[in-house]
Amino acid sequence: MSVTQQIITIAVVVLGTMVTRFLPFIVFPSGKPTPKYIQYLGKVLPAAVFGLLIVYSLKNVNIFTGSHGIPELIAIAVVVLLHLWKRQMLLSIAGGTICYMLLVQLVF
């Protein structure tokens, strides 16, 4: 990617983010009720999108070759267990990442 393409990509991300933040204030002037369908999406979309993001962040993992996604699986289990145990976001993220780094550097 050239620098110009990089700048365009970043600008597009900024624009997209701003659209999601400013849209309600433009589309729904205060006083009017929000459409039911939009309210519904507001409740069910976040969980589904977070699932999509997990898959996105793992898209380079190939379960058929290399380490078959085993280090990823172990590290995700560590994140989940740490989080269910302490419910400390930073601890879960740091613990899982360090575990993964150790696995791919020393074991696999």
Partner 1 sequence: MKKGKMAALRAAFPYTIPIFAGFWFLGLTYGIYMNVSGFNFLYPCLMSLTIFAGSMEFITVDMLLGAFNPIQAFFMTLMVNARHIFYGISMLDKFKGTGLKKLYLIFGMCDESFSINYTAKVPIGIDKGWFMFFVTLLNHFYWFFGATLGGIFGSLITFDTKGLDFVMTAMFVVIFLEQWLKDKKHINAVTGLVLSTLCLFIFGKNNFMLPAMAAILIALTVMRKPLEKGGVA
Residue with tokens 């589309």: 27
Cβ proximity to partner 1: between 46 and 66 the closer is: 46
The site for partner 1 (CB under 8 A) is made up of: 1, 5-6, 8-10, 12-25, 28, 30, 34, 37-60, 71-72, 75-76, 79-80, 83-84, 89-90, 92-94, 96-97, 100-105
Smallest distance from partner 1 to CB 61, Å: 9
Q: Contact 60/72 with Cβ under 8 angstroms?
A: no
Smallest distance from partner 1 to CB 86, Å: 11
Smallest distance from partner 1 to CB 65, Å: 14
